Amino acid sequence: MVPRHLIDPWYRAIFVRRSVRAYDGRPVGREAIGEIRELLDGFSPLCEGARAVLLEEGAQEILSGTVGSIGKIQGAGAVVVFIADKSHPQWQAAAGYLGEGIILHATSLGLGTCWVAGTYKRSEARRRIALSVSESIVAVTPLGRPAAAESAGAQVIRAVAGSHNRKPLETLTRGVAADQWRLGCREALEAARLAPSAANRQPWQFGVMPDRVVVRASGPGLMPVVPNRLDCGIVMLHLEVGARAHGLEGSWTFLQRPLVAEYVFEPAGDP
């Protein structure tokens, strides 16, 4: 589970996070770098099967493969590389959960980020990082101070991806009627609804019961670039942060496919 002291800042970050492609070129501050480094090897048992590496040198060389000259990521002070151990049964969800935690923390520090899964120089990232035989780089994010103005190319990319559009909550949920949801459950699901996903597909469904929420993968993935379960790891992080920000403590259990995991609420009235 996410450490308790991170819940509130990450919850606030959910509502201001956006994909940033233009940065002002300044180095990322040492204090911020230090805080992010503390998260790279994981902040929860759900991160097992994934890790991240922060590179302050050569970020642009890794990011220069992004969308040619249109929407190209420019001026980032650093890059975070997300790595999954494919021998772990939950490597996809773990990578999404870990990566989004790092992204929300960076957002809470005033930094810009952007999930990049298929259009960076993977070979350049591999050259700089020692990987085990079972590890693979699954995505990266630039890290830096957002530029004062977004380029026209970045605006085009955002419009094509529909980055700010989200499906209505009613189309993402099934199960008991909303009037039977636990207090705080709607807010948790709204936080989950805002989770980013590849091409803004939102490839998940929520099965809502009085005592739990089940996350289910839904729709085709963008394999091999972005598996649905990586996106589901991202939404798991949002759901947990939203739930706990509204007093719904609980615990995760992974489930058999096509289900992903369930967040079971602690009984009402428990401390």
Structural tokens at position 94: 């773990």
- 270 located within any domain: no
Residue where the block lists tokens 């923390």: 105
Mean pLDDT for the stretch of residues 245-259:
96
Final residue of a structural domain among 121, 137, 160: 160
DSSP letter at 148?
A: S
Query: Are 176 and 239 contained in the same domain?
Result: yes
Query: Are 50 and 127 contained in the same domain?
Result: yes
First to last CA, the chain: 17
pLDDT at 156: 45
pLDDT at 151: 54
- 101 located within any domain: yes
CATH number at residue 149: 3.40.109.10
pTM of the full predicted structure?
0.91
**How many structural domains compose the chain?**
2
Query: Are 39 and 137 contained in the same domain?
Result: yes
Mean pLDDT (the chain) is 90
Query: Are 13 and 112 contained in the same domain?
Result: yes
**pLDDT tens-digit map of 149-181:** 665 444 444 444 444 678 999 999 999 999 999
Mean pLDDT for the stretch of residues 3-18:
98
**CA-CA distance, 135 to 119, in Å (whole number)?**
19
Whether omega before 203 lies within 30 degrees of 0, making that bond cis, reads no
**pLDDT tens-digit map of 40-67:** 999 999 999 999 999 999 999 999 874 4
Residue 134 sits in which domain range?
Answer: 4-160
Residue 57: exposure state from Cβ atoms within 10 A (0-12, 13-18, ≥19): exposed
Query: Are 29 and 139 contained in the same domain?
Result: yes
Paired with 50 in beta bridges are 84
Residue 106: exposure state from Cβ atoms within 10 A (0-12, 13-18, ≥19): buried
